[in-house]
Amino acid sequence: MSTDQNNGPGQTKKSEENILKAVTLLALPWLSFQGKMLDVMKAGIQDASNIKPFKTLALHELQALMMIVDPGGKWRNSAGAEFEKKFEDTYNEAVAKIASGSISFIEAQQALIASLTEAVNKGRT
């Protein structure tokens, strides 16, 4: 048990302010880092050259899976010659929608981080 006489309400409030200031100073670099990472992610998604290798890999993996599941090609041949073309078109459309949704989600996160950074900066000063 402490016998310190300087531990009154004013001292407690000052300690709480010091803790809040320390947390604020730790939050600012973290928020800045998050903002920069979101910028990098957004740029990577918007750059179509980054998507093409993944698209090609996925199409080749599907082809390999179909060769394993249907080694004789009976099912693949019964689906028609345009099956792979139809799948590729559908996949291209899906990738575009996923990229668009991801960009919208990243922009929402960027707006939230900007608001948090502004609030933390106001609290710091």
The structural domains of the chain, with segments of one domain joined by +, span 51-125
Q: What is the pLDDT of residues 103-120, one digit of tens each?
A: 899 999 999 999 998 988
pLDDT at 75: 76
| Position with higher pLDDT, 44 vs 4 | 44
pTM over 0.85: no
Q: What is the pLDDT of residues 7-59, one digit of tens each?
A: 556 677 777 778 877 777 788 888 899 999 999 888 888 876 667 777 788 78
Task: Quote the longest CA-to-CA distance of the chain.
Answer: 89
Q: How far apart are CA 55 and CA 91, in angstroms?
A: 8
Q: How far apart are CA 91 and CA 97, in angstroms?
A: 10
| Token duo for residue 49 | 């050259």
